[in-house]
């Protein structure tokens, strides 16, 4: 079962965050603990605990989150690339159980990630 998270409080403007984009489907704000010069989280307004809780009805929303990530990336001075990440489950490093897309850029990344 999905529960209210800190991201719901941010989306409801109950706690502050630096919001860089919002529309009727999602809110994008700066990560409080950035791992790169640009680190933005794109969060759906619909409660979805993780990618594992996504259902076929969410297909268009999931595509929208990626397009928003792409558009925010285009507004940044990224060099030759950026990374889009969805940590899914504790073993992957997910700590907030509301689906979110990390957009990180502004430095060079290595592969495979840690």
The residues that touch ligand DGP, with contacts defined as CB under 6 A, are 6, 17, 29-33, 41, 87, 93-96
| Beta carbon nearer to ligand DGP, 56 or 112 | 112
How far is it, in rounded angstroms, from Cα 40 to Cα 65? 12
Which of 8, 58, 64, 100 is flagged as catalytic? Answer: 100
Our CB check for ligand DGP shows the closer of 77 and 95 to be 95
Catalytic residue flag (residue 64): no
Closest by alpha carbon to 87, among 39, 24, 37? 39
Cα separation, 43 vs 103, in Å, equals: 11
- Which residues belong to the active site? 100
């Amino acid at each position: 079962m999905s529960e209210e998270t800190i991201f719901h409080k941010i989306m409801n403007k109950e706690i502050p965050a630096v919001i860089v984009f919002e529309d009727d489907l999602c809110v994008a704000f700066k990560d409080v603990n950035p791992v790169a010069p640009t680190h933005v989280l794109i969060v759906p307004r619909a409660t979805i605990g993780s990618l594992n809780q996504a259902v076929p009805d969410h297909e268009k929303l999931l595509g929208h989150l990626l397009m928003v990530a792409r558009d925010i990336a285009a507004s940044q001075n990224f060099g030759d690339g950026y990374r889009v990440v969805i940590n899914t489950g504790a073993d992957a490093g997910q700590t907030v159980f509301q689906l979110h897309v990390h957009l990180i850029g502004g430095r060079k990344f290595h592969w495979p990630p840690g």
